[in-house]
Amino acid sequence: MATAADAQTVAGPMVPQPFRVTKRRRELADTWTLELEPTGGARVLPAPGQFTMLYVFGVGEVPISVSGDVDGPLVHTVRAVGAVSRAICESEPGTVLGVRGPFGNTWPVETALGSDVVIVAGGIGLAPLRPALYAVLRQRGEFGNVALLYGSRTPADLLYRAELGQLRGRFDLEVDVTVDAAEGGWHGKVGVVPKLIDGAHFDADSAIALVCGPEIMMHFAARALLDRGVPPDRIYVSMERNMQCGLGHCGHCQLGPTMICRDGPVYRYDQLERLMAVHEL
């Protein structure tokens, strides 16, 4: 008798599999976290850094990074910026969505074993880094110093605020948070997130840095890491550009010689430094 996994293999990677929304939590005014479980087929088992293609039946499909612990349900944090992402954010528990994937490569968690780890996130870029942070904390004794450096435009734009508070209470993790512009009641740091790098505690010669956020923020974060002495081949960035098929077939996510959905989304900075410096490439 054919299994659900067999059926998915026969259907191919272009066919979305049905997943039901089991939980939906508002994070920001325009951002929601959804937990999904298969309606009866095979589970999706993504590695930290991978993404899936989420399909709203009758509306369309978009790539969304996995934002939860890879050992739990499939979790996505989604900002409503277009018709499809708005429809995903509006999906109440019980709604069935289509899922393809997981696609893409991963954050180098295993490569970082024995090293200091610096996680630099801007805005909703914290979501794709969250599985890597969970993986590092699950094996905390296998790493050196671990720093989470996070920034957003305003305090109201900080993602996972309750969780950040819990992480600050750990003695084995450095957490530093900043905002571009303060509002009433904010008593934390003000400034762009790359400025946090100079004061973070890590050995620049051997540290591995994981960076995700707006491209301009990643560019300046990488420059700050290089200025600290982190080698460019130990800085990793996650790119998310207009991915539509997830398999490198359609060409929409081409960046110079690379297809982000096929070859990324995680790249060593020395592989992308020249391309990221080209205006509007």
117-276 topology per CATH: Rossmann fold (3.40.50)
pLDDT of residue 145: 97
Q: What's the average model confidence in pLDDT over 23-31? A: 97
pLDDT band at 1 (very low <50, low <70, confident <90, very high): very low
Q: What is the pLDDT of residues 170-219, one digit of tens each?
A: 999 999 999 999 877 888 999 999 999 999 999 999 999 999 999 999 99
Q: Which of 127, 126, 124, 144 is nearest to 136 (CA)?
A: 144
pLDDT of residue 278: 67
Whether the per-residue pLDDT at 265 is higher than 90: the answer is: yes
Sheet holding 31-38, edge to edge: 60-65, 51-56, 96-103, 17-28, 31-38, 74-79
The angle subtended at Cα 213 by Cα 209 and Cα 215, nearest 5°, is: 100
pLDDT of residue 244: 81
Average pLDDT, the chain: 91
Whether the per-residue pLDDT at 152 is higher than 70: the answer is: yes
* 4-103 CATH: 2.40.30.10
Whether the per-residue pLDDT at 133 is higher than 50: the answer is: yes
Regarding beta strands 60-65 and 266-268, do their DSSP bridges make them parallel or antiparallel, or are they unpaired?
unpaired
The angle subtended at Cα 64 by Cα 74 and Cα 131, nearest 5°, is: 55
Dist. CA 71–CA 48, nearest whole Å: 11
pLDDT band at 281 (very low <50, low <70, confident <90, very high): low
Whether the per-residue pLDDT at 136 is higher than 80: the answer is: yes
Q: What is the pLDDT of residues 69-123, one digit of tens each?
A: 987 899 999 999 999 999 999 999 999 999 999 999 999 999 999 999 999 999 9
Pairwise pLDDT comparison (245 vs 98), residue with the higher score: 98
Whether the per-residue pLDDT at 235 is higher than 70: the answer is: yes
Q: What's the average model confidence in pLDDT over 267-272? A: 93
Whether the per-residue pLDDT at 254 is higher than 90: the answer is: no
Dist. CA 198–CA 187, nearest whole Å: 20
pTM, entire model: 0.92
pLDDT of residue 21: 98
> Which of 104-113, 160-169, 204-213, 244-253 is the least confident region?
244-253
pLDDT of residue 43: 84
Share of the chain above pLDDT 70, in %: 94
Pairwise pLDDT comparison (241 vs 94), residue with the higher score: 94
pLDDT of residue 280: 56
Residue 187, Cβ density class (10 Å: 0-12 exposed, 13-18 middle, ≥19 buried): exposed
pLDDT band at 40 (very low <50, low <70, confident <90, very high): confident
Q: What's the average model confidence in pLDDT over 116-136? A: 97
Where are the domains positioned within the chain? 4-103, 117-276
